[in-house]
Amino acid sequence: MKRLYIVVEGQTEQEFVNTVLRPWLNGHAIFDVTPVLIKTSKHGRGGHVNATHLMNTINGLLKETSGRQLLVTTFVDFFRIPSNMPGYDDAMKKADSTMQISALEEALANEVNDRRFIPYIQRHEFEALVFSSNKGFEKYCDKELSIQTAAIVEAFKNPEDINSSPETAPSKRLLSLIPDYDKVILGNLLALEVGMDTILARCTRFAKWVQNLVQRCQDE
C-alpha cells in the first residue's frame, strides 16, 4: 500500500484533507494519507508565498527513506500563486486560467522530475468546492444568507469557474456575506455537509485529480 502525502498551503486545506478527503479515500482502501503544510522556515509551517518553500517541501518528502512506496501531490490555490513558480512567465501567457494552470502543473512536474510526484493546483481556491451545493449554507447560515449563496451556486455549472479577481474570488464572496467567516472551521463544516460525492460531480478538475490519486495509489 502506498503512502500518500498531500502538500497543502494552509490549515484550511489541511483540515479538508483530514476531515473530508481522507475519509473518502479510506473508503477506496487508501488508508495512509497525510496532509503536509509547506515548510517556510526551520520551525514555520503554512503559507505559499515563495515557490522555493514548496519545492523544498516536495523534494524533502520524496527523499524519505522508510522503504515504503509513496506518492506526493500538491493541493495549492492558483489564486495569488507565487510568481517564482517554475514556468510562471510562460504559463501566464496562455489564453485562459485553465491553460495557465495546466502549464504550471507541467512545469512543476518537470522541475521535480520524479514519477512519484503528482502536481495539482486548485482552480481557483478551496472555497470554490463549498459552492458545489447550497446544502452547507442552508444548514449553517440563516435563510436570507442561504438565498444569496443559492444564487451563486446556481450561477455556475462548475464551481471551479468562479473567477479569481480580488473582489469576486470564492473566499471574497463568502467574506462579503459572512464578515466573520472562518476558513478552517466553517469552510470545512460547509464542505462536510456538501460531501465529496457532490463535489466530485460538480468540480471536474478536482475530480480528475482525486481519481488519479485513487488509481495511482492502487497501482502496484
pTM of the model: 0.91
Q: Is 125 exposed, middle or buried (0-12, 13-18, 19+ CB in 10 A)?
A: buried
Q: Please, what is the angle between helix 97-112 and helix 51-62, to 10°?
A: 50
Q: Check residue 200 and give its pLDDT.
A: 97
Q: Is 59 exposed, middle or buried (0-12, 13-18, 19+ CB in 10 A)?
A: middle
Q: What is the pLDDT of residues 28-76, one digit of tens each?
A: 999 999 999 998 755 445 555 689 999 999 999 998 755 568 999 999 9
Closest CA to 9 of 56, 49, 42: 49
Q: What is the pLDDT of residues 211-220, one digit of tens each?
A: 999 999 988 6
What rounded mean pLDDT belongs to the chain? Answer: 90
Bridge partner residues of 74 (DSSP): 7
**What is the total residue count of the chain?**
220
